[in-house]
Amino acid sequence: MELDLCAPCLFGLEGPLKNEIAHLGCKNVRAENGRVRFRGTEADAARVNLRSRFGERVLIELARGQAASFEELFRLAETAPWEAFIPQNGVFPVKGYALNSALHSVPDCQKIVKKAVSRRLGKRYGLTWLPEDGALYQIQFAILNDEAALYLDTTGTGLHKRGYRPAQVAAPLRETLAAAMVDIAGYRGKGDFCDPFCGSGTIAIEAALAAKRRAPGLKRQFAAERWPAFPAAVWRDAREEAVLAEFSGTYHIFASDVDPKAVAIAKANAARAGVDDIIRFAVADACAFDRRTERGVIVTNPPYGERLLDRPQAAALMRRFGEAVRPLAGWSQYILSADEEFERAYGRRADKVRKLYNGMIKCGLYIYK
């Protein structure tokens, strides 16, 4: 069955996510602010859940239309074909958001959508009361400028939760953002790769997963795996396809941090991800950067005075790091920072700055070719 699908993402990752979904064979792929919409089957939804490095989840869009009043929102929700997915005992909580719209009370919108879906399912199943004691069918709504979209979430726990990072340092980088930084840097497994501020190891681990072409969701479960509308064969075939797409080779991925505890955590995380055999970890001062070859790429997320260090300390650290890597003419650098004065501290203007978000923190990816 052809479905209207939507993959939300962090702002700034729409381009990489669009390319990824198109490469997976989905149709009518188009990027919007904070999301990529596309057409596909249940098999495509399973494939994107398993293999997407940049998306946050995979949603089925069941309705879209005007919702400037509660009556319009109720009518829109009641006309959506929920019974195509939700059985009579399905659990269907509702969550969402409303921006720049007449309907601004999220709790009231939740109640309206819940009531409309309950009425439709009750009529379809001939029930006056729905038990809601089965699998989870999370309903989401998004209301923007008085237009509402209604979704079912096939993912469950967000796709950035790969499962390899139960332990982390104080300021973790979201896995999907780390994966996008690796992608923007053009790393595909060839050449030297280094993160000298590795923290919990996320960037190096995502680089290793990308080099191996290993599906980041291979070891986890998804909400739609419990749905009768998604046959078990869909997930089995998607996993077999993902395993066949893996690649093996010799890689030069290095990760270091001045904090021994962070390095220990990073090693444990890499082991859980199954890539500890291709990442070399070390306790080392980034400001005494030890190059391995004449050429390579540095992709890193140093402290920038938001959650670790204060701003003067972070600026001093970047000044020393900039001095350490400036002689390395053959090494490209991709440095994520929320400090708008980063270039001044680093001592060099970037060739390009790409706007990204680390959670709710607006950052720049400072690119030095």
> Does 3-153 match 175-213+245-368 in CATH topology?
no
For residue 120, the SS3 value is helix
Token pair of 288 as six digits: 């005494």
Other beta carbons within 10 angstroms of residue 126's beta carbon come to: 7
Rounded CA gap, 184 and 53, in Å?
Answer: 12
Instruction: Please state the rounded mean pLDDT for residues 14-32.
Output: 97
What is the second-level CATH architecture of the domain 3-153? 2-Layer Sandwich (3.30)
Q: Is the pLDDT of residue 307 over 70?
A: no
pLDDT band at 167 (very low <50, low <70, confident <90, very high): low
pLDDT digits (tens, 9 = 90+) for 174-223: 999 999 999 999 999 999 999 999 999 999 999 999 999 999 999 899 99
More confident call, 293 vs 64: 64
Token pair of 73 as six digits: 């929102």
Token pair of 279 as six digits: 């990442």
Q: Give which of 198, 173, 194, 309 is closest to 263, Cα–Cα.
A: 198
More confident call, 102 vs 172: 102
Instruction: Please state the rounded mean pLDDT for residues 245-270.
Output: 94
Half-sphere exposure of 87 (CA within 13 A, CB side): 12
β-sheet bridge partners, residue 141: 96, 150
Q: What per-residue confidence (pLDDT) applies to 171?
A: 57
Q: Is the pLDDT of residue 306 over 60?
A: no
pLDDT digits (tens, 9 = 90+) for 334-368: 999 988 899 999 999 999 999 999 878 899 999 99
Rounded CA gap, 98 and 12, in Å?
Answer: 21
CATH topology assigned to domain 175-213+245-368: Rossmann fold (3.40.50)
**Domain positions in the chain:** 3-153, 175-213+245-368
Rounded CA gap, 191 and 183, in Å?
Answer: 14
286 DSSP 8-state letter = G
pLDDT digits (tens, 9 = 90+) for 112-152: 999 999 999 999 999 999 999 999 999 999 999 999 999 99
CB under 8 Å to 35, separation ≥6 — which residues?
6, 7, 8, 9, 14
Q: What per-residue confidence (pLDDT) applies to 312?
A: 78
Q: Is the pLDDT of residue 305 over 60?
A: no
Token pair of 185 as six digits: 């840097």
Percent of the chain with pLDDT over 70: 96
Q: Is the pLDDT of residue 292 over 70?
A: no
Q: What per-residue confidence (pLDDT) applies to 289?
A: 80
Instruction: Please state the rounded mean pLDDT for residues 290-295.
Output: 74
Rounded to 5 degrees, φ, ψ at 152 are -115, 135
Range with the lowest mean pLDDT among 29-43, 86-100, 233-247, 296-310?
A: 296-310
Rounded CA gap, 297 and 294, in Å?
Answer: 10
State the average pLDDT for the chain.
94
* 147 burial level (CB within 10 Å; 0-12, 13-18, 19+): middle
Token pair of 142 as six digits: 């998004």
